[in-house]
Amino acid sequence: MAPAPADTRSAPRAERERGRGDAHVPAAGPLRILVCPHELVTGGSQLIAIDLAARLRERGHVVAVYAPRGPLEERLRERGLTWHPAPRFRGDSLHPAAVARFLRELRAFEPDIVHTYESGPALVAGVAAAALPLRHIESVLSMWVPPHVPDGVPLLVGTVAIARQVAQRSGPVLLMEPPVDTVADAPGDRVAARERLGVDAGAFVVSVVGRLSREHGKARGVIEAIGELDRLGDPAPGARPVLLVAGAGDEEGAVREAAGRARIDVRMLGDVPDPRDVYDAADVAFGMGASALRALAHARPVIVQGEGGFWRLVEPASAAGFLQHGFFGAGAAGQGLGALVAALAADPDRRRDLGGYGRMLVAERFSAARAVDRLEDLYMSEAAVPAARRPREALRALVRYGRLRAALAAPAAQRAWRRTRGRDV
């Protein structure tokens, strides 16, 4: 199929009859798809949204991305995607202006499918569906599904365990494990990557790519890693340790403070829209979720970071658990990061074997080409039925959102209320 027109607002709609807000069924042919990631800062969910959107555009669909400003704007341009600026989405606050702006976007672009990523855009789209007919698909690739995510539309989640947790929703729940472009994310030249990053060829490099945020203890884990690697010192004889940290977020300042106190060389790279050199430069990588998968695709041994001091090596003995629950964990279990890095530094053959194993695992299980086939089938299936207004679902989502706000504002009172009602937020 030929690429979609670049000006998606004025693209012709061959063989379609459409009025503003019609609950029509589109004729066979390319779909108009509005993709709504929650932000354009480097992170697994955002990169997945952009990659899948670009692949759908390459198949001839008319695709636009509606998202707040951020460093990934350049990546949108590189992938040939049209970007429509959005106000900031927040999962813990809902602004009437954001809903009004979204309704204007819907009336201007008139999508056949709206695909939101994470809870902020999902809630805005759910509320908008009270006013306009909408075919809405949600992806929540975080480690939990917030209660205010609208429950009457298809939901894509990233792990088997999460799919089971939300199986009682009124809408369908589908498993879409985080896809990885194993062509773009493939083992590269370590020496060349280090040269581009200004890292000595003989250093022992540990890399992490991800959001430096409070969510899931991401920034806290990086701070913990800095401390453990600092105490470890030189992990291999004659190899100066270097920690590469690529990412930004609401706790970036705290990570920078920890880096400034460290004796080891910690390189704070900021937000890196294309972090492939950061993965390729590594002897060992750590991270969670989609970032861990991308590191595995680069054939690097990976230590999965979780909450509460969780660190675990990806190896055949741990793979089944990660495939079930996601590349994440909670609570200290087994060795800490420093001990795992020290063992890997002392055994280059094991590093090579684990790198090869991780690459094979990702190629066989997390192919982006297979994911886009499934997603396109889902879009076509949803587009075959009329769009609908969903005022009751919007109201339910707002009520649950209100409870969440109450829980955030007064957690003790909310816990007491939940005990009297015998139900969750």
Q: Distance between CA 142 and CA 145 in Å, rounded? A: 7
- For tokens 């009329």, name the residue: 386
Residue 13 has pLDDT above 90, yes or no: no
Q: What is the pLDDT of residues 218-277, one digit of tens each?
A: 999 999 999 999 998 777 776 789 999 999 999 999 999 999 999 999 999 999 989 999
pLDDT grade, residue 412 (50/70/90)? Answer: low
256 or 5, greater pLDDT: 256
**Encoding tokens for residue 212?**
């430096």
**What pLDDT is recorded for position 27?**
58
Q: What is the 3-state secondary structure (H, E, C) of the chain?
A: CCCCCCCCCCCCCCCCCCCCCCCCCCCCCCCEEEEECCCCCCCHHHHHHHHHHHHHHHCCCEEEEEECCCCCHHHHHHCCCEEEECCCCCCCCCCHHHHHHHHHHHHHHCCCEEEEECHHHHHHHHHHCCCCCECEEEEECCCCCCCCCCCCCCEEECCHHHHHHCCCCCCCEEECCCCECCCCCCCCCHHHHHHHHCCCCCCEEEEEECCCCCHHHHHHHHHHHHHHHHHHCCCECCECEEEEEECCCCCHHHHHHHHHHCCCEEEEEECCCCCHHHHHCCCEEEECHHHHHHHHHCCCCEEEECECCCEEECCHHHHHHHHHHCCCCECCCCCCHHHHHHHHHCCHHHHHHHHHHHHHHHHHHCEHHHHHHHHHHHHHHHHCCCCECCHHHHHHHHHHHHHHHHHHHCHHHHHHHHHHHCCCC
The pLDDT confidence band at residue 29, using thresholds 50, 70 and 90, is: confident
Q: Average pLDDT of 337-351?
A: 95
- pTM flag (> 0.85): no
Examine the pLDDT at 190 and tell me if it is beyond 80: yes
**14 pLDDT more than 90:** no
Q: Which residues contact 408 (CB under 8 A, 6 or more apart)?
A: 92
Residue where the block lists tokens 């299980």? 365
What is the pLDDT at residue 31?
A: 97
Confidence tier at 16 by pLDDT (50, 70, 90): very low
pLDDT class for 402, splitting at 50, 70, 90?
A: confident
Mean pLDDT of 5-22: 40
Which pLDDT belongs to residue 363? Answer: 94
Is the pLDDT score of 374 beyond 80?
yes
With contact defined as beta carbons under 8 Å apart, do 105 and 67 qualify? no
Domains of the chain: 32-179+368-420 (3.40.50.2000), 190-365 (3.40.50.2000)
Mean model confidence pLDDT for the chain: 88
How confident is the model over 286-326, as pLDDT tens digits? 999 999 999 999 999 999 999 989 999 999 999 999 999 99
Give the pLDDT confidence score for residue 237 in this predicted structure.
72
| pLDDT score of 3 more than 60 | no
Please write the tens of the pLDDT for every residue from 132-175: 999 999 999 988 899 889 999 999 999 999 999 999 999 999 99
